[in-house]
């Protein structure tokens, strides 16, 4: 039961952080906030995964790992908002912006998770 509570509390923290960042960019036509949270979240989860796998912290419970990854980072990043933003750009006829947004989000997130993991694996 504590695992679910860990995820729920972490999710509330991550979603609140995402909401704060999205509000900074709420007047922009491009969904910059969503790109930032998804790319940054991918980078951070790459780093955290490297720490958990390559330099295991003795005594670190699965609840803490779930709190950070599934909770905070899962609540922080958002594929559903990404999809909605892309749909809105396409519906508004902003095909070039939509393509750029989709490309930067997907490629940027993939590159970021690899970078985060690689950088952290070299540090530890």
pLDDT, tens digit, 9 for 90 and up, residues 45-96:
999 999 998 987 877 888 999 999 999 999 999 999 999 999 999 999 999 9
Which residues, other chains included, contact 18 with Cβ-Cβ below 8 Å and sequence gap of 6+?
Answer: 33, 37, 75, 76, 77, 78
Q: Nearest Cα to 23, choosing from 37, 9, 39? A: 37
Cα–Cα distance measured from residue 72 to residue 110, given in angstroms and rounded to the nearest whole number:
19
Residue span of the structural domain in which 110 resides: 2-123
Q: What average pLDDT does range 100-120 have in this prediction?
A: 97
- What is residue 1's predicted lDDT score, i.e. its pLDDT? 87
The tally of domains found in the chain comes to 1
Average confidence score pLDDT of the chain: 95
Q: Which two tokens stand for residue 89?
A: 């750009």
């Amino acid at each position: 039961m504590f695992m679910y509570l860990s995820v729920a509390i972490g999710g509330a923290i991550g979603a609140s952080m995402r909401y704060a960042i999205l509000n900074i960019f709420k007047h922009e036509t491009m969904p910059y906030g969503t790109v930032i949270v998804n790319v940054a979240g991918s980078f951070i989860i790459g780093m955290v995964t490297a720490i958990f796998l390559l330099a295991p912290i003795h005594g670190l419970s699965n609840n803490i790992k779930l709190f950070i990854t599934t909770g905070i980072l899962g609540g922080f990043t958002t594929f559903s908002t990404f999809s909605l933003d892309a749909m809105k750009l396409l519906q508004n006829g902003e095909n070039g912006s939509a393509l750029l947004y989709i490309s930067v989000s997907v490629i940027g997130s993939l590159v970021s998770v690899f970078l985060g993991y690689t950088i952290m694996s070299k540090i530890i």
